[in-house]
Amino acid sequence: MGILANARLVTADGLTPGWLRIEGERIAATGTGPAPEGGEPVRDLAGAVLAPGLVDVHVHGGAGAAFTETAPERALSVVEFNRAHGVTSLLGGLVAATPEDTLRQVAALAELCESGDLAGIYLEGPYIARGKCGAHDPALLREPDTVEFERILKAGRGHVRMITLAPELPGALDLVHAVTESGVVAAVGHTEASYDETRAAFDAGATVATHLYNQMRPLHHRDPGPIAAALNDERVTVELINDGVHVHPGAARVAFDAAGADRVALVTDAMAATGLGDGEYTLGTLRVRVLGGEARLVDSGAIASSTIVLPEAVRRAVRDLGATPADALRAATATPAAALGLAAGVLAPGAWADLVIMNDDLTVESVLYRGQAVAAQN
The answer to whether 124 is annotated as binding is yes
Establish whether 354 is a catalytic residue.
no
Phi and psi torsions of 366, nearest 5°: -155, 160
Burial of 102 (0-12, 13-18, 19+ CB in 10 A): buried
Q: Give the architecture (CATH level 2) of 2-51+348-374.
A: Roll (2.30)
Residues carrying CATH 3.20.20.140, the chain: 53-340
Instruction: Output Rg (C-alpha) for the chain, integer angstroms.
Output: 20
Show Cβ contacts of residue 248 under 8 Å, excluding neighbours closer than 6 positions. none
Residue ranges in the chain modelled with pLDDT below 70: none
Backbone angles phi, psi at 267, to 5 degrees: -135, 165
- The answer to whether 181 is a known ligand-binding residue is no
- Contact between 44 and 6 under an 8 Å Cβ cutoff? The reply is yes
Residues 207-248: pLDDT tens digits?
Answer: 999 999 999 999 999 999 999 999 999 999 999 999 999 999
Superfamily of domain covering 53-340: Metal-dependent hydrolases (3.20.20.140)
Residues of the chain with CATH 2.30.40.10: 2-51+348-374
At 285 the pLDDT is 79
The pLDDT score that the predictor gives to residue 6 is 97
Evaluate whether 33 touches 79 at the Cβ level (below 8 Å): no
Q: Pick the catalytic residue: 269, 278, 327, 361?
A: 269
